Amino acid sequence: MRRKRLTHAVLAVLLTLGGLSAAGAFPASASVSAADTPRTASPKAASDGLLSAMQRDFGLTRAQAEIRLAAERAATALAPKARRTAGSAYAGSWFDRADGRLTVAVTPDASDATRRALRAAGAELRTVRHSARQLDAAKTRLDRLSVPSGVSGWHVDPAANTVVVDIVRDKRSDNDVRTFVSRARRTGPVTVRTVSAAPRTFAAGTVGGDPYYTGNVRCSIGFSVYGGFVTAGHCGRPFAAVYGWDGSYVGNFQGSSFPGDDYAWVSVGSGWWTVPVVLGWGTIPDQLVRGSAVAPVGSSICRSGSTSHWHCGTVLATNETVNYSQGTVYQLTKTSVCAEPGDSGGSFISGDQAQGVTSGGWGNCSGGGETWFQPINEILNRYGLTLHTY
């Protein structure tokens, strides 16, 4: 049997955050369709380690962390039901940390019966102008435009009831950016926002630690699936050989997509095995994985990677289009969690529910930043994989 650190190589998610700086971000793409059937969030109590991490990263007491996790589990379970109940009047939803409930936006034509049903289920309601279908259609039209490098990305913001387009601050006067913004405003309800950094991928050179390697690229292992593990597509191309933290052969990339998407999966053999665990890196105990129910916007989320290890933050947006120098990636989830070179492909988890693998971002874990991940359920559906759960 290999020594215990072998678990790190098999379970830490692939994350190639190379040269991550305040001007960098990384890629990922995914979509959750009706075929993405997540497991139900577990009612089991959170571990002491997870509660301690939330106390550290969110400034909560232990009791407040427990209350928030319970509220987020309820919101995660309610979100898909609320969408079905609202029907064509649905305009998005998000977890409101202030009142600890799921807020569901509906258009003015939502019936009284629909509103009563949503309130009875525990949702807070907000009436807005544009439906989710209208916002998604505007974003789809944006996805078809040619994108200059000064445009960071765009996503639907349900709380603002608009599509938010992010422009890099020092590129605002660029003619191509101005032309893109003009075209974007014609696609539907669009709000333009400036950001400090442009997104990019992060592949790290070979360094020590608990990574896996392909060529001269270091990444972090993602979630175990039966037969291997999933990770970011920018970490390696199909059939590339993968080596573990100790230099021994692990397996090969069986599928990989980037840009457009940012997902891949690696077969595991040669004495390596998979387990349903995300590394806590000594910050918290290793976390068991029990499913893949999607956490709503506003929920807490944590990330594990081979460079910066364990950090937590909040889900900021879903279905975001991110414009990397290598190409555009669609349907990523944005978070306030930091990351650093070598973290690419790493695990994003909310409670005990797998969320996705690290794609890219900007900033670092000293000064802060934002990170995007590729949602896990799309990866599983794309390759016909089954998440290894406890």
State the catalytic residues: 234, 262, 344
- Which pair of structure tokens corresponds to residue 211? 């990574």
CA distance 165 to 332: 14
What angle, rounded to 10 degrees, do the helices at 112-120 and 62-86 form? 150
Cα distance between residue 89 and residue 93, in whole Å = 12
Question: What's the full length of the chain, in residues?
Answer: 390
Contact criterion met (CB below 8 Å) for 39 and 291:
yes
Asked whether 344 and 203 are in contact (CB, 8 A), the reply is: yes
Q: Which one-letter amino acid corresponds to residue 147?
A: V
Q: Residue 247: count other Cβ atoms within 10 Å of its Cβ.
A: 7
Calculate ∠ Cα 319-296-75, nearest 5°: 155
CA torsion 356-362-364-365 (nearest 10°) is -40
Sequential DSSP letters for 154-194: EEEETTTTEEEEEEEGGGTT-HHHHHHHHHHHTSSSEEEEE
Q: Any bridge partners for residue 203, and if so which?
A: none
**Are residues 363 and 370 in contact, defined by beta-carbon separation less than 8 angstroms?**
yes
C-alpha angle 329-295-303 in degrees, rounded to nearest 5:
70
Dihedrals phi, psi of 35, to nearest 5 degrees: -75, -15
Per DSSP bridges, beta strands 228-231 and 224-225 are antiparallel
Q: Which two tokens stand for residue 278?
A: 């995300």
Are the beta carbons of 324 and 308 closer than 8 angstroms?
A: no
Q: Which helix (H) or strand (E) holds 233?
A: none
Taking 3-state DSSP, the helix, strand and coil percentages for the chain, each rounded to the nearest 5, stand at 25, 35, 40
CB contact at 8 A, 269 and 252? no
Residue type, 119: R
